[in-house]
Structure 1
Amino acid sequence: MSRAITIVLLVVSTAAPALAGASKDFTHAWSRRFGGEQIELLRDVCVDGAGNVIVCGHHAGDIDFGGGTLSCAGGDDAFLAKFDVDGNHIWSRSFGDSSDQQGIAVGVDAAGNIYLTGWFRSIVDFGGGPLTGPGNEDTFLAKFDGLGNHLWSIARGGTGSDRPNDLVVDSWGNVVITGWFYGPVADFCGGLGCAGGQDIYLVKYNPYGTCLYAFSWGDASNQQGLAVAVDMNDDILLAGEFYGTVDFGSGPLTSAGQADVFLAKFYGDTGQIYFAYSYGDADHDAVAAVAADLDYIYLGGSTVASIDFGGGALDGGAGWDVYVACLDAYGAHYWSRIFPDADGSFMMDLILTDTHCPAITGYYGDRIDFGGGELVSAGQEDIFVAVLDPGDGGHVESASFGGTGLDYGDALASAPGDYLVLGGYTDGTIDLGGGPLANAGYYDVLLARYLLGPPGFPPEVVVSIPDLLVQETAPPVDNHVCLTDVFWDPEEGSALAYEVVGWTNLDLLTATVDADSCLDISFNELMDGAAVVTVRATDSVGRSIEDAFEVTVEPLPDAPLIQGIADVPNDQGRTVRITLRRSGQDDLGATTPILQYEAWRRLDPLPPAAAGRPVPPVR
């Protein structure tokens, strides 16, 4: 027999919570290796709206991406290649002469047009005629259609050296490039003067290659722009490193010692400064990438000692360690994390997945843990890939790839359907999940695609079920805890299924979910104690989250009540039977058959005539 206890539960929710940590299936889709006997390096990767993969980099020897051998004309030549969603070759191109040309960054617009930037010495021709630069190393920007046909190309720079480091395409097809230049003047959009050493440049072009604006910043020390992104308003995020002092227009930022990290935000239409901050200590601090959505900005990089983004110092190990920081749209700290490795680890790229999770790649030398357990290097340097929770930086998924040689993760891109594309290079045999890929020479290009899991967000706990304290009582009544008030599905139209995972102290209670998605709890009336109940909510594609709470049943005093037994005269030799269970009741007013009884007797003195006669037992 069970007795139901009334539970009153108030759940209040004012807003949808941040995404909680959830596991995803990091599933290999395909992987490729390309290379020859010389050095071939992948530098960047992007994905168009159809899921096609575009890569850029440079090669010092022959390389074949599947469409025939691309021969190197001398030095380094830039390459550009496109693959379909299954990793099959669509087209590939190589650009160069006897000097050096390197493809550094690539982007794609909504129409599938491709933008390639990099640097060159001497002459380079992308299909629109030879381009020459005024200096030792100059920046190029070329646009191609989705079939690889040349649309336009330009060369910019000064009499010294200038190199781009990153490129981003905004929602209008405008292109923003950042990098560094050294020399008296660099012409990106009118002359930009160099203050000494390496200076930062930021330049924006429209879809036809016309310069919209350009800026430079620096002093006599070295500074460079390393990463650029746009948010959902097309405002520009610029990140880089600097020695000395740099002023983006909101006041000077001064390095605390060696190179420090800077982050600056500009209005996309005018280039006017929105804010600028610096981060670092007396040691070297580096940044690799910046990414942004409507509400948050993500920075990824490496630090030698410690770095503070506003949430307290992130202290690493003895060498370089990877960090990730999340800031709000105004640059205020939201969360930040560091992932130490005793032998040094380096961040190379950070992007946002389809579900707005930050994904990172780079390389490490010993052991690194992103929250899902240690990843152990198989050789000298191994590739890491990790996906983090946008709400707090917690672990979502992580993996390591490597052999006995040097393996580097250099670039990531998000693909439709919550796929992740990884680009890198290796000097040995490596298995990216689809079997060993043998090295053909020195460094070879690596390319792989992974499924992170079903697109969208997992269920969330709006407000955890509070621990419940109840007392034995009567009469029995029904009770309900409505799980629709506890769990929430951020995807509209996806119903949740609820179940009781289990509970401790199995004899104390029974928990079930009824047809109205409410939790019913019934208690054993003969017991008190505590039990932990765990419930689970699962969405339509199998993602789930659990919540647990403790139920405590406090006992009421259960001393039996005695109604009294009347004196019973007894003649010597007669047996008298008294039924005790009809007289004993517990404090709830019910006859309690589990009461235990005992009896004893008191002997009154017998008359002298009865002395020595046996006394019958009490029964």
Structure 2
Amino acid sequence: MIKKFTIQVLICTILIAPFLMTFQAEEKRLDIQNANEIQHQAFNDSPIIWTKTFGGRGSEICYSMDTTRDGGCILVGETTSFGSGGSDVWLVKVDRNGQEEWNKTYGSSHGDYAVDGHQTSDNGFILVGGTTSYGAGDHDTWLIKTDQTGNELWNMTFGGPDRDQGYAVKQVSDGGFIICGGTKSYGKGPNDYWVIRTDQNGHELWNITYGTKGYDWGYDIIETSDNGFIFTGGTDTSITGTHILDIGLIKVNKDGVLQWEKFFNKPPVEKRWDEGYGVIQTVDGGYIIAGIAHTYGWDENSNGAGWIIKTDAKGNKQWDKTYGGGNCDCLCSIRITSDGGYILSGWTYTYGKGDADMWIMKTDAQGIDQWDITLGGDKFDCSMFHTIQQTADQYYLIAGYTESIGSGSSDIILVKLGEPLITIAGNGQNGFSWTVKNGGEDDLEDVNWSISLDGLHFMGSDRSGTIDLLPAGGEITLRVGGMVLGFGPMSIRVTVGGIGKTLNCFLLGPFVIKG
């Protein structure tokens, strides 16, 4: 199982020769909690359509979710409740209402898991991850192809004597597959980026390592409009070793030949750990990366922010935005929405109710935060890697895993989310206020709200309360407690009915200058 290891260390490796083997895919029934009960327990005051958990008495983790052509989705990860022993790859097929249609396990008695999965052109599925049950070394990349009901058609392992792991897979335009991950068996550093190209039957066409003499590994890859590939991850670009990792963005052609590479970091450089977890191509031919910028550490005591970076077609940065950052916050998955903006998912220690919470954020095309929502209970709840999609009916599906609710120590969670009815707009000049509007057709009653201040201020205070009635189409104004007075950068966050919005600004005496 790579649960906290994946979040904390994320050091992977690669392979070179595929080894074909067969095993029995096993099907088990799931324990699915009642959606209304879950919503009431952990996710009230949010625009949730429904919530489902999947799991048994052990531990289940979801690393990837993708929509399917029938309006449903697949959940991809690992299970210790079902299967052959240790942890097994787990593939769960869900219909458009969140009901499980079938599930399959793949693996043997050791540790096996999948980190990414998608529906293929033949309506089957392709999965990639890692295995310690099969292969040439102590940990190999594992590629599994199934039919449309999850029955295994073939599988391949790739790797050498050391640790090699796949984090992302995509079907490319010719029907084959491209895999991105990391390798400790090959390359010039202790870990290198590793990209493997296969045909439609999983046979290797080429594999190439990229990177520095330090630690490098890749988390996401896509085929680009010129039929090449671009991938992102973490790269050790330092000579002195003081700067641990930069976000890497590497562009190669269809044969894997390097075309260009770019690296991004946030100061200060000491003990930084900046990584890119998701990348997509934008309508203008450029790219946008979702990831994290933070100091070393992976708990509530570390300081990290969700980070998105927009580049042009050559990888030159056009703009970037950070979000959160009071504790350890991360954005892992990013998708373009129908309005041209972005929907992102990850986790946050700064906001929410418990330990870490799932974190969903909507921005406009320029990365301006429109709203965000946290989902979680009293324990650890997290959305990782490739786990958010906009659906054909204009809702959002978000997957992850939860320790707060469900049947076992951790369960897979799937949430269908609508656009918030409440909209929040900030107004700053002399002091600061928020305009809150109910865009729905029904009145809202007893709506909780809070305003918190973080930064260089010596006047002004946090506030909280309840809106007794917010009529349909109506609006009210919320104000920071007392006069705000200070000098320097500041973050002001308002949460109304579970919907959050944060404004990064600059205080100049009593004046609030929007960032």
Where on the TM-score scale, by shorter chain, does this alignment land: which range? 0.5 to 0.7
Q: Match for 2:276 among 263, 266, 287?
A: 287
Measure, in 2, the Cα distance between the counterparts of 1:177 and 1:254. 31
The TM-score with structure 2 as length reference comes to: 0.66
- Change in Cα spacing, 1:254 to 1:46, as seen in structure 2 (3 Å) is farther
Q: Match for 2:128 among 117, 120, 127?
A: 117
User: Is 1:228 aligned with 2:215?
Assistant: no
The AA in structure 2 aligned to 1:325 is I
- Change in Cα spacing, 1:221 to 1:262, as seen in structure 2 (3 Å) is same
User: Is 1:275 aligned with 2:260?
Assistant: yes
The AA in structure 1 aligned to 2:202 is G
- Change in Cα spacing, 1:344 to 1:228, as seen in structure 2 (3 Å) is same
Which residue does 1:466 correspond to in 2? none
User: Is 1:389 aligned with 2:364?
Assistant: yes
The TM-score with structure 1 as length reference comes to: 0.55
Q: Deviations over 1:304-334 (max 9, x none)?
A: 269xxxxxxxxxx971111111112221222
Contact 1:56 1:104 in 2 (8 A): yes
Q: Deviations over 1:201-237 (max 9, x none)?
A: 1012222223232111245422111221233444311
Contact 1:230 1:291 in 2 (8 A): no
Which residue does 1:166 correspond to in 2? 168
Contact 1:49 1:110 in 2 (8 A): no
Measure, in 1, the Cα distance between the counterparts of 2:339 and 2:154. 34
- Change in Cα spacing, 1:90 to 1:173, as seen in structure 2 (3 Å) is farther
Contact 2:324 2:350 in 1 (8 A): no
* 1:181 shift after superposition: 1.5
SS in 2 for 1:158: coil
* 1:194 shift after superposition: 2.9
Which residue does 1:39 correspond to in 2? 59
Contact 1:168 1:177 in 2 (8 A): yes
SS in 1 for 2:97: coil
The AA in structure 2 aligned to 1:135 is G
Q: Deviations over 1:27-69 (max 9, x none)?
A: 53332101222221111111123322011111112xxxxxxxx
* 1:148 shift after superposition: 2.0
Contact 1:166 1:227 in 2 (8 A): yes
**Rg: which structure is higher?**
1
Which residue does 1:260 correspond to in 2? 246
SS in 2 for 1:440: coil
Q: Deviations over 1:357-408 (max 9, x none)?
A: 32111111223xxxxxxxxx11221111012112x11133321111111111
SS in 1 for 2:159: strand
Contact 1:354 1:415 in 2 (8 A): no
Measure, in 1, the Cα distance between the counterparts of 2:314 and 2:392. 29
Measure, in 1, the Cα distance between the counterparts of 2:164 and 2:201. 22
Contact 2:307 2:330 in 1 (8 A): no
* 1:101 shift after superposition: 0.7
SS in 1 for 2:383: strand
Measure, in 2, the Cα distance between the counterparts of 1:149 and 1:441. 26
Measure, in 2, the Cα distance between the counterparts of 1:304 and 1:58. 28
SS in 2 for 1:441: coil
Measure, in 2, the Cα distance between the counterparts of 1:272 and 1:110. 27
- Change in Cα spacing, 1:52 to 1:171, as seen in structure 2 (3 Å) is farther
User: Is 1:357 aligned with 2:341?
Assistant: yes
- Change in Cα spacing, 1:255 to 1:214, as seen in structure 2 (3 Å) is farther
The AA in structure 2 aligned to 1:223 is D
User: Is 1:30 aligned with 2:50?
Assistant: yes
Contact 1:383 1:402 in 2 (8 A): yes
Measure, in 1, the Cα distance between the counterparts of 2:280 and 2:324. 22
Which residue does 1:304 correspond to in 2? 294
Q: Which one has a larger percent strand, Structure 1 or Structure 2?
A: 2
User: Is 1:336 aligned with 2:320?
Assistant: yes
User: Is 1:198 aligned with 2:191?
Assistant: yes
* 1:109 shift after superposition: 2.8
- Change in Cα spacing, 1:144 to 1:242, as seen in structure 2 (3 Å) is same
Measure, in 2, the Cα distance between the counterparts of 1:46 and 1:336. 26
Number of equivalences? 366
Q: Match for 1:145 among 144, 147, 153?
A: 147
- Change in Cα spacing, 1:157 to 1:149, as seen in structure 2 (3 Å) is same
Measure, in 2, the Cα distance between the counterparts of 1:397 and 1:254. 40
* 1:265 shift after superposition: 1.3
* 1:356 shift after superposition: 4.1
SS in 2 for 1:378: coil
Which residue does 1:97 correspond to in 2? 108
Which residue does 1:428 correspond to in 2? 404
* 1:93 shift after superposition: 0.3
